[in-house]
Amino acid sequence: MNAVYLSPAFCSANGVLITGIDEKRVSFGMLHPEDTALQARIKKEYAEYLCVFTVIPPEEFNLKLSQLYAEENPDENAVQSNGGEDSRASVIDKIADDAPVINLLNSIFLEALAKKASDIHIESGKEHTRLRFRIDGILVFIRIIPTERALAVSARLKLLANLNVLENRRPQDGHIDISAEAYSLDVRISITPTIWGESIVLRLLNRSDVPLSIGALGFSAGYQASISAILSMASGLVLVTGPTGSGKTTTLAALLQELNKTALKIISIEDPVEYRIEGITQIQVNEELDLTFDAALRRIFRQDPDIIMVGEIRDTETAELAIRAALTGHLVFATLHTNNAPESIYRLQNMGIPFYMVAAVLRASIAQRLIRKKCTACNAAGCSVCAGTGYAGRTVIAEILVMTTVLADLISRGIQAEELRRTLEQGGHRTLFDDAEEKVRAGITTGEEIKRELGVPL
């Protein structure tokens, strides 16, 4: 009787793995259970067994596959190094065909995907290398990697990204495209030398992800009217603001998804393209080829767009071009780094856009943050589901400022920030803190989480 075994490479390529073996019955989990040809191949190979096929969720598949790759690793000390350039070169010479290193790297990627990590951190230390994932915005320790194996992983990543494999004294940046049955990744690599070796950060952009709907992002019910108003706008500038990692790109993708109709030409300029949306013309910024935000924005006017999305307004030139596009009848979406919605008015003014121009084109500003939600399995007490953190998943807290005639008139006359804040407060404007308080009262999150994100207790 043939032993039932599927290699990690076969599992990854075909989206199938073994989930259980019981005497003469074998259970297989499939990402695509409708693939009857694959089922027939497996049944023929293991004809003496009863083969049962069921659907398996992608997250569970990736986690099991990562464990399968890890089990394929032989002794962790198989790749030895005594330090120095000669031993380093000997390790590098072996990495191209070193199956244990390839399996280890695959297992790291798959485990990160299964745990919904946004970043992988591989950090050299004095005696060993630490592996951490950023999950729900927080770095979580995963495990220790022997320094010799971490050195080979670093070299493997450099090889895949076409970087200098022998260079370990200067920073290097690059990216890798990884495609498998279970996932498709654009991996951004940042490598920086440290006193103990290298710090490697891998930003994971899962091209298999589809944009969430606006309703799934977690905006409070009180903001639905404002969001509907934004989606019905014909022209002008709509800003989504917040610090790095606050979900701005996800919100923009969801808005564009809602507006993605055959009657509209939508063009986005992004760095990087995080969500691939069928029906939208998406442009990847490439500064090495002088395809910057402002350079791309100048050229897309000839593409006859109705809606333009600018991934980030970074400088005065990009701001001026976005304003020009909004003035000429286009609906322009863009991101900006500000702490709250009213502050975006003064950020544009600091970039050289006069107040009267801001008042003429700005239609709305959405400021947002991502906060962790209480784990529903343990109610924030800490359990295996949330890895003891008490939190699982994230939602948005927001502040939405929709321009009115009265507000535009005040801005055009150069209203000061403090006076604008008082005016909005008197008009019942909801701030980030108001939205955060509502989420705490509803039991969605905790006051401690709001303090961590906003810096003040509720």
437 vs 222: CA distance, rounded Å? 13
| Per-residue pLDDT band at 179 (split at 50, 70, 90) | confident
| Higher pLDDT among residues 171 and 84, named by residue | 171
Tokens 């006069």 map to which residue? Answer: 354
Whether cis (ω within 30° of 0) applies to the bond prior to 211 is no
pLDDT at 74: 47
pLDDT at 79: 40
Helix (H, G, I), strand (E, B) or coil at 128: coil
Give yes or no for residue 45 having a pLDDT over 80: yes
pLDDT at 1: 52
CB 308 within 8 A of CB 330: yes
Residue-wise pLDDT tens digits, 84-93: 445 444 444 4
| Higher pLDDT among residues 118 and 82, named by residue | 118
| Per-residue pLDDT band at 81 (split at 50, 70, 90) | very low
Burial label for 327, CB within 10 Å (0-12, 13-18, 19+), is middle
Q: What integer is the mean pLDDT of 157-169? A: 88
CB 283 within 8 A of CB 269: yes
Directed axis angle between helix 147-160 and helix 99-114, to 10°? 80
Residue-wise pLDDT tens digits, 360-390: 999 999 999 999 999 999 988 888 888 788 9
User: Phi then psi for 356, rounded to 5 degrees?
Assistant: -65, -30
